[in-house]
Amino acid sequence: MISETSKITLWGDLGKMFEPKLYEKDNGPVIVIVTSTTIKNFRGEVSYSTTTASKIYINLKTDYVASLVEKFSTISNGVEVIERSNVNKISPEEEMFLNRMNIEELLKTDWSPQLKEYFLTVRGKITEIDNTFGWYYISCQKCFRKLELEDGVYKCSKCNNKCDYPLVKYKIHIKVEDKTAETTLVIFNDIAESLLDTAANKLFKQTTNDVPTEIQSLCGREFVYKLKLNTFNLKYGHENFTVSKVFNLNEKLEEQDELKKIKDHKEKNNNTNEENENKNRKELHFKDITAAKDLEDSDEDYHHSSSLTKKNRKNIIIEDDSDDENMNQKRLRK
């Protein structure tokens, strides 16, 4: 029996149809039909997502579904509930390879606007500090939102109050590249402080609008970045991806991950080749059967034709004998 496994994401109320208590293990196999989905192919894996037009039918009362229920009744024991993954439970060595992509894959992936957020990791070298939007912002001391300067006074739109003691926080835009492409990442205060080992207000006091030397020193350094994609990226397709964590490179782990990818790719190709070989064997077997049948039909036609030829020859010989006898009788009369 051929088995294929794919992932499908159910959004909104459609997800509520799969409340675990509704599908106890003794209920037997659950046949689900999902319509009007979007299909994505990422790293050779196909996944599906529901849309606003999607409909779900569970154990539909049709002959075809009934046959599937009977077919899988000895295999399936109901819906398997997979607990929500928690990144905090995995080690940093595992986390730094979470949904690993290269930059080209990050930029070319067709993200779903229905996603609220998504985490992944990329490896890249910092090539430039983009100071178009500055390297810091003035923050509210209560809610940490960006403050607006009005008539010489910093005001917070969220707290709806003026801020007497505003804070200076990092917001650094960095250009990052790998062998495939280049993109822009945004590093906020906590991560920037850990990388630079100094607070933003200290650098703010000793500079104007230029990028401080301490920040420029990040150029040329290579890290693994854990990115948190939000609506800004997922729905509207903008770059400036937010960095939620930075890992120092571990070349040994990077090499192991690369070898694993090569191994998985080879296994996948071997499985594909095996499937193609089986398919070709079936096609050749069918052709052999067809050719043998054609040969058998041709042989029957030949024997039938040969038989008719012999019969015609016999008739001709009989006719010739009859003529000879008549001639002899005529000669005797004379």
Provide DSSP, 312-324.
Answer: HHHHHHHHHHHHH
Q: Are residues 170 and 235 in the same domain?
A: yes
38: β partners: 49
Q: Are residues 20 and 108 in the same domain?
A: no
Q: Is residue 142 part of a domain?
A: yes
Token look-up 């926080």 returns: 169
What's the CATH code of the domain at 108? 2.40.50.140
Q: Is residue 261 part of a domain?
A: no
Q: Give φ, ψ of 199 to 5 degrees.
A: -80, 155
For the stretch 151-204, pLDDT in tens is: 888 888 888 888 888 899 999 999 999 999 999 999 999 999 999 999 998 898
For the whole model, what pTM was predicted? 0.56
Higher pLDDT, 292 or 151: 151
Provide DSSP, 169-188.
Answer: EEEEEEEEE-SS-EEEEEEE
> How many other β-carbons are positioned within 10 Å of the β-carbon of residue 76?
17
Q: What region, left, alpha or beta, does residue 99 occupy, with left being phi > 0 and alpha being psi -120 to 50 degrees?
A: left
Q: Is residue 45 part of a domain?
A: yes
Is pLDDT at 54 greater than 90 in this prediction?
no
Q: Is residue 308 part of a domain?
A: no
Burial class (CB in 10 A: 0-12, 13-18, 19+), 182: middle
- Which of 250, 275, 310 is the last residue before a domain boundary? 250
- Which of 223, 250, 277 is the last residue before a domain boundary? 250
Token look-up 């060595």 returns: 93
Is pLDDT at 35 greater than 80 in this prediction?
yes
Q: Is residue 231 part of a domain?
A: yes
* Domain around 206: 102-250
Spatial distance between the Cα atoms of 297 and 16, rounded to a whole number of angstroms: 62
At 114, is the pLDDT very low, low, confident or very high (cuts 50, 70, 90)?
confident
Q: Are residues 29 and 165 in the same domain?
A: no
Higher pLDDT, 115 or 233: 233
The arithmetic mean of pLDDT across residues 238-260, rounded, is 91
- Which of 250, 281, 314 is the last residue before a domain boundary? 250
Q: Are residues 50 and 122 in the same domain?
A: no
Sort strands 167-177 and 222-229 into parallel, antiparallel or unpaired.
Answer: unpaired
What pLDDT is stored for residue 105 in this prediction? Answer: 92
Is pLDDT at 69 greater than 50 in this prediction?
yes
Q: Are residues 131 and 210 in the same domain?
A: yes
Provide DSSP, 232-280.
Answer: HHHTT----EEEEEEEE--HHHHHHHHHHHHHHHHHHHHHHHHHHHHHH
